[in-house]
Structure formats: structure tokens, C-alpha cells
Amino acid sequence: MENRKNLRPYGWLFLASVLFVAYGSLVPLHFRPMGLEEAVSRVTSPSFWDFGIRSKSDWAANFLILVPTAFFALGFFRTRLGFLKDVGAALAALLACAVLSSLVEFLQFFFPPRVPSSSDLSAQVLGAVCGILLHRSMGARLDEWVSAFRSESRLERVARSMLVAYMWAYFLYQLMPLDLTLSPADLFRKWRDGRVHLIPWTFAYESAAEAVYQFATDVVLWAPVCALFLLGSRMSRAAAVGWTVALSTLLEGMQLLVFSRTTDTTDIVAAGVGAVIVAAVWRHRSAIAPEKRPGASFLWPVCLVGFLAWSLVVVWIFWYPFNFTRNAVEISARLHDFLRVPLITYFYRSELMGLTEILRRLLWFAPLGFFALGMLSPLDRWGNAWLKWALVVPLLAVAAFGVELGQVALPGKVADVSDAVLGTVGAVMGSLGGARIFPIILGSRTGSRP
């Protein structure tokens, strides 16, 4: 019998994806009243039922945005409507996605400058079909992977699961907005426009500082990959470096087929540097005597250093180039814009571009939450987990809002309360990961089940 615990995660994910699609399709939320008869007449007009593809990138965005929605919908209905069997659940998921797409396209008549289109509707329905087929092919394996991650008590397997999750998130972030092309003409145009660099350090940065900034950013992003390879297996350090570089090379090759992305072999070099740094300082736990391994008393100072160091990294990432202004009028205007319509800067161009920026914010703030939870680990001795969370969540919110408010005085940056909220969410996700892995690390030292 299917595990009913899968119902709640799929239900929440389905709801979140529905809200994501609906909200992203209606921003900037400029509601304009319109009579129902006029709206219906626009739907029935021949111009609406033009299925021609005006923009390949927009069509791809509409196709892809419904894939996860349908995936989660089938997971939800498969559990809730088990009496309908697989076919019934699939039809229910498809119907729900079709109703969602139709409703969103109809509502766009009332929210200019959004432009409803039958082409968008057909792309979304096709995306829903793809999401359902994807769930049919790999949904069960995903359920098993999540279940194993929740119950696993061996550090190596948890590290492998975290590596898979990190790679999925990072590849998705780097390949967004997924405007894929196999056209030789498009690839030639991409190379001609200077978005293909097969020789490292040939990209024309604005300054040497900008080049260092971008290179160091890639080093920081790829270093955890090598660390998770080493933590999740007994492979040699050279093999871990090789696999990290191989994944980076694969990613750059895939970016070549994403028209709006830049392919630059400098990123492969940066991945290699990050991996080599990790490998150089790495010592496997099996090489350290159990009595000499760091325990709970060593965890919080290490995480404190990590929290402070990563705070500097986040400040560097989001405040660079530190060109603060003292113009009170400009700061006041930007502070007023700080409370703009939520997520408008993410979704106004396209939902997939919005998702790209959301992933970016979540990824950068997750380590901050990971270190923050470990930093407060001495509170565990009081046996009250709620106290630790009551401190860590406000701390992470202060950090995220502080970084975003600092951007108010930085011309060229977009200060937005949505960014601060997403940063807080990403940091809390990192804390949840820490809550999963810290007990395993400490348990392996005290001789608990390996």
C-alpha cells in the first residue's frame, strides 16, 4: 500500500506551484475592470485562437512552467484519488492543469500589460502532459529517494543525497531560462555575439575586479561539490576533483544549447580550483581516530567561523562593487520602492526568469542557515529545540533584510522586500539541512549506528 506520508509534501508542492504560475502570470497586478461579455468576446475572437508561435522563448517558458505543476499534481492525486488508479489520477491532474491554464489566460484580459494567447495555453497543456509522463517514469524513484533521505542514518548516504539535490538545483539555476536551441544559425549567432568562449579568461570583463569577483564566485559554488563527493564516498581526492571538473564541463556544454546563456571555459577552471582547494585540506574521517574527531563542543565555534565567513561572502556577492551613494533623495526613493509589489522584479519578464532569480537567492543564503544552526548547537543541552529555532529564524531574517536594505544605497542594485523574504526562506532551508546532518555527524563520533 502506498505511503500516505507522501500526500502532504505533494499537496503543498502542488499548491505552491499553482500559486507560482497564477501570480507570475498576473504581475504587475494592474487590474483593469472589464465587462464579462467583453472578455468572452475577446476569447471567441479569431485573433485569440492564433496558435502561431511569435516567440520561441515565451513558448518554451509556458511549456516548462506547467511541467512541475503537473508532476506535483499527479503525485497529489495519485494518493488522494487512489481509487481511480493511475489513469484516473493522471486524467485528474491533466484536467486540473488545463483548468488552471485556461483560468490564468482568461484573467490576463483583466491585468494589462499581460497578453493572453491560445499559443500560451497550448504550450502549457503540452507541458502538463510532459509533467505527467515524467512523474509516471520517475515519480516512484523520487519517492524512494526522499524516503531514504529522511530515514538514513549513515553520513555517506546523506551526503550523496545532498550532492544530488545540490546538483539538480545548481544545474537548473545555470540552465534557466531554458531557451534551448539546436539551430546551427542560433549557435553561430551566439558565438558571433560573444557568448561562447572556448579559451579561459577571454571574456571581456568591465574591470579586473569584476573578473576576480566572477571567478571567486564560481570557486565558492563548486567547492561544496567536491566536498560532498569526498564525504559521500571513499573515492580518492584526485577522483573527486576529476568528477567535479567533469560536471562543470558537462554544464558548460549544456549551456552552449541555451541561447541566452554564456559558455565560458573559465568556469571549468574555477570549478577545478575550488575542488583542488577542498581536496588539499580534506582528511577523511576514517583517517582520524574516533577519540580525536571533533564533537559537539567543537561544532559551534567552527560553525560560528563559517557563519561569519559566509556572511562576508553574501555581502560581497550582493553589494559588489560597493559604490554606495549618500544622496538622500535617491535613497529615499529607493527605500519607497523597497515595498513594491511582491516578486514583480522576478516575474515581469517571464516566469522562468523569475524562477532563476529565486533559485539564485535560495542557493546563496542556504549555507548561512546551515552554519547558523550549528552555531547555536550549545542550546541543545537544555533539551528545547524550539528555543534554538526561535533564535535562529529571527537571526537569519535580520541577516537577509540587512543585506537587502544595504542595496538601497547601491545604485544599479534592485532593493526589494521579496529578495529579503526569499533570502530568509533559503537560509531556513539551509538550517533544516543542518538539522538533518548535524546529528548524524555527532552520532558517528559517539559510536552510534554507522
Q: Are 35 and 110 in contact (CB under 8 A)?
A: no
Q: Measure the CA–CA gap between 403 and 411, rounded to whole angstroms.
A: 14
- The per-residue pLDDT for range 376-397, each reduced to its tens digit, is 888 777 666 788 889 999 999 9
Angle (deg, nearest 10), helices 155-175 and 351-375? 150
By three-state DSSP, how is residue 433 classified?
helix
pLDDT at 307 over 90: yes
Instruction: Decide: 214 and 163 in contact? Cβ < 8 Å.
Output: no
Most confident of 165-169, 281-285, 368-372: 368-372
Annotated domain spans of the chain: 4-150, 154-287, 290-450
pLDDT digits (tens, 9 = 90+) for 60-92: 778 888 888 999 998 888 877 666 677 888 888
pTM beyond 0.75, yes or no? no
How many Cα neighbours within 13 Å face the side chain of 255? 26
Q: Which of 123, 86, 107 is nearest to 22 (CA)?
A: 107
The pLDDT tens digits for 284-302 are 655 554 555 555 577 888 8
Angle at 297 between CA 429 and CA 280, to 5 degrees: 70
Q: CB under 8 Å, gap of 24 or more: what pairs does 196-203 form?
A: 196/256, 196/262, 196/263, 197/262, 197/263, 197/264, 197/265, 197/266, 198/263, 198/265, 199/265, 200/264, 200/265, 200/266, 200/268, 200/269, 201/266, 203/262, 203/264, 203/266
CA dist., res. 45 & res. 268, Å (int): 52
Residue 445 has pLDDT above 50, yes or no: no
- What is the CB neighbour count within 10 angstroms for residue 120? 24
50: alpha, beta or left? (left if phi > 0; alpha if psi -120 to 50): beta
For the stretch 382-410, what's the b/e string if a residue is b when 16 or more beta carbons lie within 10 angstroms of its beta carbon?
eeeeeebbeebbebbbebbbebbebbbbb
